[in-house]
Structure 1
Amino acid sequence: MENLNNRLESLIRLRKELHKNPELSGKETETAKRIISFLEQYPPDEMQTNVGGTGIIAIYKGAEEGKSILFRCELDALPIKETNSFEHKSIKNTISHKCGHDGHMAILCGLASELYHQQPEKGNVVILFQPAEENGSGAKKVAYDEKFKVLKLDYVFALHNLPEFAKNQIVVKDGTFSCAVKSIIIRLKGKVAHAAEPENGINPAMAIATMIQQFDLKNQYNKSKKDFAVITPVYSSFGQKAYGVSAGKGEVHFTIRCQTNDEMERLSKELENLTEEIAKINQLEFKIKWTDSFHANENNSEANHYIKNASKILVLDVVEKDTPFSWGEDFGLFTQHYPGAMFGLGAGQETPALHHSDYDFPDEIILTGIKLFHQISKEINHAY
C-alpha cells in the first residue's frame, strides 16, 4: 500500500497548482475540475459535483454502520494582487490564494487518498469542497442544495491555518471559535440644494457623522465580555465634487463583529432602530442592506473533545484559546445545524498574516492536517 508520506509530493504539487490558478467566490469551475481529477485517482464510494454551485462531495463508506462525519474545506481565492515571486505565483494579476484555501484543499485531498487506502472501519466520512467562503454565501448555498440535504450527518469539522502560531500547533477553543460577522450598507436620500442656500435642501452629511459617532458608542472591545462587539466604519460617501452643490444623498457602510449569533441578532436590530431614528430626525429617507454575513463558529463541546483527544494521540502541541478570533468564517452555518467544531492549525510565527499580499500556505503543515482529520474520524467511530 502506498504510504501517505510518499503521496505528500503529489499533494504539494497540487497545492502549488491550485495556488497558481486561483478563482474568486462562486467562479471556482477550474479549481473544482482539478479537485475532481485528483479524487478520480482515489475514487470515493459516492461523489456529487456542482453542489451549491461548484462544490464537491466525496463519501468514503465504512465496512460497518457508524457515525457520519463531515470534513470541509474551501475552494475560493481573494481579489488580492500577489507580491510573491516564486514559481507558483498566481498567474492572475488581481486574484490570489491569500487565506490558504489551496492548502486546505490539499489537506482534504490527502485525507481522501488516505481513506481510499484505509477504508473506514465504521460509518461514513464525507469530504466537502465548499465554494464561496470568502463572501459568506457558499455555506448557505451548499446547505440548501438537495445533494447536501439528503446527508445524515452526525458531526462536522473544519480547520483553518493560523499564522502567528507555531507550525503544526493545534489551536482549540470551547464555545465560540470565530465571531459572527456581517456588514451593513445604509443609503440616505435627502434633497439637493445650492451650496449657498443649504437650508433649502436636506444634506445627509450630519446624519452620516451622527451614525458614525453613535455606532462607535456600541463598541465593546473586551473579548471576555458576552456583549463583545466591534463596529467598524469601512466606507462612506455623499454628494459629488461640485462645490456649488449641497449634497442630497449619501451612504455609509459598517462591518459588525459579535461573539455569538444571538448577540449579533440583538445588535443588528439595535443598529437598524438607531439608523431609522437618525434618518427621521434629519428628514431623510433611508434603505438598509445587510451583506457578507458569517455565523459564529460555536464549537460543540463533544466535537471539540474529539479534536483534543486525537491531537493527544498524535502527540501534537495543543493551545487552548481563551477568547474567540474576531474574523468571520462561514463554516459557522454548519456548526449552527450540526454538532461540530473548527480548530486552528499553526502556520508559523514568521508566516505573513492571512489576506496579506505576500502570504503563502506552508506545505510543512499538510501532513498534520491530514493525520488529525483522519484520527478524529477514527476516534468518533471507536467510541460508537
Structure 2
Amino acid sequence: MSFQLSNSMLDQLVDFRHTIHRHPDLPGLEIGTANRVEAALTALSPDRLVTGLGAWQEPDGSQWGGTGIAALFDGEHPEDGPTLLFRCELDGLPISEQSDAAHRSAIDGQAHSCGHDGHMAIMLGLAMRLATNRPARGRVILLFQPAEETGKGARAVAKDPAFQALKPDMAFALHNLPGLGLGTVWLKDGAMCCASRGMRIALEGKTSHASLPQDGISPLDGVMRIVAGLKALSNGLDEGQQLDADFKLVTITHIEMGEACFGVSPARAEIWVTLRTVTDDAMAGLVEAAHSLATETAKAEGLALTISEDDVFDACTNAPETTQMVRQALEAEDIPHAHQPDPMRFSEDFGIFGQSHPATLFLLGAGKSHPQLHNPDYDFPDSLLSSGVQIFERIIRQTLG
C-alpha cells in the first residue's frame, strides 16, 4: 500500500504552504509562523504539544528563538517501540522575493527562498495522517525548529530541557534541492553536509592625518597579510579537490576599513570570512590556523585583535541504520532515488541531532531547471508535498507498524 495523499488533503497543505509563504519570519523571530503552525497542529489533537522550544540569549542580552514546536503522537503501545523524530524548519530569509505568484511574500525584504514553507507543509501533512491513524507502537515527534539559517536553532533546541525530556531515539529530515530531477531523492551514508562558520576578525590601530600616516597605526598591511594567509589555507577551489576529510574552503565575504574619508589614515578594519570543511575535526584545525594567523599578524603590526564567530554549523553526518530505513521507504513507495555522490557544500544544523542519536537527512529534487535555493525567484514546488509525506509516513509504518 502506498501512502499517497488524497486530493482534499493535498489542497489543504497547498493552502497552508501558501499562507506561510506570504508571511515569512526571519531566523529566531518566527512568532507569526509558530502561531500558525500551533493552531494547525492543535486542530489535529496530538497527544502532546510542546511550545516555546529553542530560546537563546545573545551576548548583548537580547532574547531570540523560543518559537520551536514539537507535536507528539503516541502509538497504541508507546513503550513497546522507539521514538522517531521528524524535523522541519520555521524560518525564512532576508531576501526580496521576485514573483508574480498570488502567494508571494507580503513582507518587503523577507521571503521563504529556501523552501522551509514546503518542509513545514510536509510535516503538517504527516501530522494529519498520524491524527487519524496512530502507529501500533512507539511514538512520533514532529519538530518545527527555529533559526536553521543561522545555525543557532538546532543547537538551542537540543540544549532545551523540555526537548531533552522527549528523548528521541532517531531522527529524520529532508531538504529540497533544485538541480535534481523533480521528485527524485538523493541519499547518502556518512558525510552529508559540510561544517561551516563565519569568523569576524577585527583589527584596531590608531588614526592619524592622511598626510602623516606614519604617525598612526593603520591596519592596512595587517588586512592584506591576513587575507593572503586565509586564502592560502584553502584548497576548496583547487582543480580536482575532492570533498573529503582534507577539504578546506575559505571564502572572504566582507572587508571594511576606516571611514569614508580622504583626510584620515584609518585605525580600524574588519575581515569577515566563512570557513568550510567536511568534518568537525578538520574545522577545528582550520579555526586554529585562522586564529594563529590573525594573532601573529596583529602582534607583528602592533594592532589590537578581536575575533568573534557566528553562523556556526557542525558537520551533518548520516548514520547507516537510519539511512537504510529511508532507503527501504523509498523502495517501498517506488520513489526514484540515487546515491548522492559527494557531501553538499552547504551546511545544515540538523547535524546537531545526529550527535546524540542516529539521524539521516536526504535531498528531494525540486527540478533540474528550478531556481536555486536563496535566489529571489525561488518557490517550493507544491508537487513535492505528497512525496515528502509519503516517505516520512512509510518510515513510520515500517518501523512502528
SS of aligned partner of 1:273: helix
Q: Which amino acid aligns with 1:233?
A: I
Tell which deviates more after alignment, 143-152 or 87-96. Answer: 143-152
Question: Are 1:111 and 2:121 counterparts?
Answer: no
**Distance in 2 separating the partners of 1:268 and 1:134:** 21
Residue 40 of structure 1 and its aligned partner are, at CA, apart by: 2.3
Residue 3 of structure 1 and its aligned partner are, at CA, apart by: 8.1
**Distance in 1 separating the partners of 2:20 and 2:368:** 24
Say whether the 8 Å CA contact 1:90–1:96 is kept in structure 2. yes
Question: Are 1:56 and 2:69 counterparts?
Answer: yes
Query: Which of the residues 289, 304, 307 maps onto 1:285?
Result: 304
Tell which deviates more after alignment, 188-197 or 49-58. Answer: 188-197
| Pairing 1:245-324 to 2, within 5 Å after superposition | 245-324=264-343
Tell which deviates more after alignment, 307-316 or 356-365. Answer: 307-316
Runs of 4+ in 1 over 3 A off after TM superposition: none
Q: Which amino acid aligns with 1:310?
A: A
SS of aligned partner of 1:304: helix
Residue 200 of structure 1 and its aligned partner are, at CA, apart by: 1.8
**TM-score scaled by structure 1?**
0.97
SS of aligned partner of 2:138: strand
In the alignment, which residue of structure 2 is the partner of 1:76? 91
Residue 176 of structure 1 and its aligned partner are, at CA, apart by: 1.3
Query: Which of the residues 19, 28, 39 maps onto 2:21?
Result: 19
| Pairing 1:123-162 to 2, within 5 Å after superposition | 123-162=138-177
Say whether the 8 Å CA contact 1:223–1:324 is kept in structure 2. no
SS of aligned partner of 1:256: strand
Question: Are 1:231 and 2:233 counterparts?
Answer: no
**Distance in 2 separating the partners of 1:92 and 1:305:** 41
In the alignment, which residue of structure 2 is the partner of 1:366? 385
Tell which deviates more after alignment, 34-43 or 323-332. Answer: 34-43
**Distance in 1 separating the partners of 2:4 and 2:222:** 64
Q: Deviations over 1:61-100 (max 9, x none)?
A: 1112101010000001101001101100111011010000
Say whether the 8 Å CA contact 1:21–1:92 is kept in structure 2. yes
Query: Which of the residues 181, 189, 193 maps onto 2:204?
Result: 189
Query: Which of the residues 172, 175, 178 maps onto 2:190?
Result: 175
Identity of aligned residues (%): 38
Residue 28 of structure 1 and its aligned partner are, at CA, apart by: 1.1
Question: Are 1:334 and 2:348 counterparts?
Answer: no
Structure 1: any 5+ residue segments left out of the alignment? Answer: none
**TM-score scaled by structure 2?**
0.93
Question: Are 1:102 and 2:104 counterparts?
Answer: no
Say whether the 8 Å CA contact 2:173–2:361 is kept in structure 1. yes
Tell which deviates more after alignment, 58-67 or 240-249. Answer: 240-249
Say whether the 8 Å CA contact 1:236–1:250 is kept in structure 2. yes
Residue 183 of structure 1 and its aligned partner are, at CA, apart by: 0.3
**Distance in 1 separating the partners of 2:24 and 2:212:** 53
Say whether the 8 Å CA contact 2:187–2:337 is kept in structure 1. yes
In the alignment, which residue of structure 2 is the partner of 1:200? 215
Residue 381 of structure 1 and its aligned partner are, at CA, apart by: 3.3
Residue 196 of structure 1 and its aligned partner are, at CA, apart by: 2.2
**Distance in 2 separating the partners of 1:328 and 1:225:** 15
**Distance in 2 separating the partners of 1:174 and 1:59:** 28
In the alignment, which residue of structure 1 is the partner of 2:103? 88
**Distance in 1 separating the partners of 2:117 and 2:243:** 33
SS of aligned partner of 1:55: strand
Say whether the 8 Å CA contact 2:4–2:386 is kept in structure 1. no
**Distance in 2 separating the partners of 1:136 and 1:106:** 22
Q: Which amino acid aligns with 1:4?
A: L
**Distance in 2 separating the partners of 1:270 and 1:302:** 35
Q: Deviations over 1:247-306 (max 9, x none)?
A: 111111001111011111111111111110111111111000010111111111111111
